[in-house]
């Protein structure tokens, strides 16, 4: 088949202005850019899901892909986010909080 206009003079490959735009889904957009690469959409989903795994599931991508884009868009900081709560509490403790002498004393 050729790309020549039809007998009516219309190009069959041009979009019809009365035809609705194609629906987007979770994995593609009209721009053919995955929605998880959009920082605003990624942030909204991550804040709602509260986990990388939940975000990955929402976008139907791997955990690693979701984590990569969360880091790239400065939404997730692997140095401070995702650290378990007990670890954070232990970091904040002073030696005398647990019955030890202050640092530098024996």
Mean pLDDT, the chain, as a whole number? 76
What's the rounded Cα separation, in Å, for the pair 20 and 40?
Answer: 25
* Reported confidence tier of residue 103, pLDDT bands at 50, 70, 90: confident
Q: CB of 31 within 8 A of CB of 38?
A: no
Q: Is the pLDDT of residue 38 over 60?
A: yes
Q: Tens digit of pLDDT for each residue in 49-84?
A: 989 999 999 999 999 999 999 999 999 988 777 666
- Could you state, in order of their start, the residue ranges of all structural domains in the chain? 35-94
What's the rounded Cα separation, in Å, for the pair 103 and 96?
Answer: 9
How much is the pTM? 0.51
Q: Is the pLDDT of residue 7 over 60?
A: no
Rounded mean pLDDT of 35-52?
A: 93
């Amino acid at each position: 088949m050729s790309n020549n206009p039809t007998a009516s003079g219309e190009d069959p490959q041009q979009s019809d202005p009365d035809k609705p735009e194609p629906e987007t889904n979770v994995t593609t957009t009209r721009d053919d850019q995955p929605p998880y690469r959009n920082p605003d959409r990624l942030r909204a989903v991550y804040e709602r899901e509260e986990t990388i795994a939940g975000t990955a599931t929402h976008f139907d991508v791997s955990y690693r892909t979701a984590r990569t884009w969360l880091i790239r868009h400065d939404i997730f900081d692997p140095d401070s986010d995702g650290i378990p709560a007990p670890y954070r509490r232990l970091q904040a403790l002073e030696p005398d909080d647990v019955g030890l002498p202050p640092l530098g004393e024996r």
